[in-house]
C-alpha cells in the first residue's frame, strides 16, 4: 500500500541542505503540510540526547534522514574519523529512537561510496557486499552501509518499516561550491567560470581524468526518495541513477564548453582519482518505485551553471 504523506507528520533531517530543498519541494507537491526541519544548533543528532529530544518534541510519523557530513576526495582524506563517527552516530541514534517511538516509516539515504572499489559495472544492489569500498571514502561509505544493516535488523526484530536509497553523485542548483569540500561538478563549474571571467590561461584538475562517474540531477533524486517513503516497507537497497557513465576528462571538457572556458586543462596525477568507475543499474528503482531520471545531463548542467552565475557566486 502507498503511504499518504499528506496525512503524516514528517521530519526531514538535512532539510535545509542541497538535497533537502528538493525533497521539501516534492513533499509540498504531495500535500505534506510543513515538514519539520531540525537545525544543528537546536539538535546535534550525533548526540543521543538530542535525537531523543527531537522525537519527543515533534512526535513524527515519518523521518527522512538526509543529514550527513560529507565532501569530495580531499575532504574525505582529511576527515576519515569524523566522517565515520558523525554519519554512524546520527543513524544509530535516529533509528533507535524510531524503534522507541514506533515510527511509521524511516527513510535512510545512503551513498554510492558504499559499493566495493572494483564492483562490476553497472553496479547492482546485489554486489554491495562483494568487496571493500574505495579507500579514500571508505569510512563514510561503511558508516552509511551500516545504517542499512541496522534498519534490516530492526525491521526483522521490531517490525520497523523503512526504506534505503543509494543515489549516485548528485548535482544541481544550491549545491556546495566550496572548493575545499565540494564534489566534482560544482568544483569544476566554479574553477572554469572563475578562469573564464578572469582570463586565466589554464585550470588544474586532480588525478588523471581516467576515472568515470555517473551523475543524477537533484530534483530526480528527491522524487525517488519521496516515492520510496510512499512505497517501501523494508530496507531493500535501491539505486537511484541514470545509467549514463562519463569519464572525468570528458566531464571537464563538457563543463568548460558549457561555461565558455577555452584555456588549457592541466592534470595532477599525484592526486587520487578515487573509485575507478561508477555506473548504476537502476532496474530495481523502476520496478519497485516506478521511477526513472528525467532531467538530461547537459540540461541539468546548464541549470546548475546558471544558478551559480545568478545566485551562487554572491553567497561564496
Q: Name the grid cell of 151.
A: 534498519
Strands 215-217 and 169-171 come out as: parallel
* Whether residue 122 has a cis bond before it, omega within 30° of 0: yes
DSSP 5: G
Where are the extended beta strands (E) located within the chain? 10-13, 62-65, 105-109, 162-167, 169-171, 202-206, 212-213, 215-217, 237-240, 246-247, 264-268
Identify any residues that bridge with 215 across adjacent strands, giving them in sequence order.
Answer: 169
Helix (H) or strand (E) holding 216: strand 215-217
Backbone angles phi, psi at 299, to 5 degrees: -65, -45
DSSP 155: H
Q: Name the grid cell of 179.
A: 572548493
Sign of the CA dihedral running 152, 158, 160, 161: positive
Backbone angles phi, psi at 278, to 5 degrees: -140, 125
Known catalytic residue at 158: no
The catalytic residue among 83, 140, 154, 171 is 140
Contacts of 250 (CB under 8 A, 6+ apart): none
* Helices 248-259 and 297-307, axial angle in degrees (round to 10): 50
Contact 245, 278 (CB under 8 A): yes
Look at residues 72, 71, 97, 88 and name the one whose alpha carbon lies nearest to residue 11: 97
Catalytic residues: 140
Amino acid at each position: 500500500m502507498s503511504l499518504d504523506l499528506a496525512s503524516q507528520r514528517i521530519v526531514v533531517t538535512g532539510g535545509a541542505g542541497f538535497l533537502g530543498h528538493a525533497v521539501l519541494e516534492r513533499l509540498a507537491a504531495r500535500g505534506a503540510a510543513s515538514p519539520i526541519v531540525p537545525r544543528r544548533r537546536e539538535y546535534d543528532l550525533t548526540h543521543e540526547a538530542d535525537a531523543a529530544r527531537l522525537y519527543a518534541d515533534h512526535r513524527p510519523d515519518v523521518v527522512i534522514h538526509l543529514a550527513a557530513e560529507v565532501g569530495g576526495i580531499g575532504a574525505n582524506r582529511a576527515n576519515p574519523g569524523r566522517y565515520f563517527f558523525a554519519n554512524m552516530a546520527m543513524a544509530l541514534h535516529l533509528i533507535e529512537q524510531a524503534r522507541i517511538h514506533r515510527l511509521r516509516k524511516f527513510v535512510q539515504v545512503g551513498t554510492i561510496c558504499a559499493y566495493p572499489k572494483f564492483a562490476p559495472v553497472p553496479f547492482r544492489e546485489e554486489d554491495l557486499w562483494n568487496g571493500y569500498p574505495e579507500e579514500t571514502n571508505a569510512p563514510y561509505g561503511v558508516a552509511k552501509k551500516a545504517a542499512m544493516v541496522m534498519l534490516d535488523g530492526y525491521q526483522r526484530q521490531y517490525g520497523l518499516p523503512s526504506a534505503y536509497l543509494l543515489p549516485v553523485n548528485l548535482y544541481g542548483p544550491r549545491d556546495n561550491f566550496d572548493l575545499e569540500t565540494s564534489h566534482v561538478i560544482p568544483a569544476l563549474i566554479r574553477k572554469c567560470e572563475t578562469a573564464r571571467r578572469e582570463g586565466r590561461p589554464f585550470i588544474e584538475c586532480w588525478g588523471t581524468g581516467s576515472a568515470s562517474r555517473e551523475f543524477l540531477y537533484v530534483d530526480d533524486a528527491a522524487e525517488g526518495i519521496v516515492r520510496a517513503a510512499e512505497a517501501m516497507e523494508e530496507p531493500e537497497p535501491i539505486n537511484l541513477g541514470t545509467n549514463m557513465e562519463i569519464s572525468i576528462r570528458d566531464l571537464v571538457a563538457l563543463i568548460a564548453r558549457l561555461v565558455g572556458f577555452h584555456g588549457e586543462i592541466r592534470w595532477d596525477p599525484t592526486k587520487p582519482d578515487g573509485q575507478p568507475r561508477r555506473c548504476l543499474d537502476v532496474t530495481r528503482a523502476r520496478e519497485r518505485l516506478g521511477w526513472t531520471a528525467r532531467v538530461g545531463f547537459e540540461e541539468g548542467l546548464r541549470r546548475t551553471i546558471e544558478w551559480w552565475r545568478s545566485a551562487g557566486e554572491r553567497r561564496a
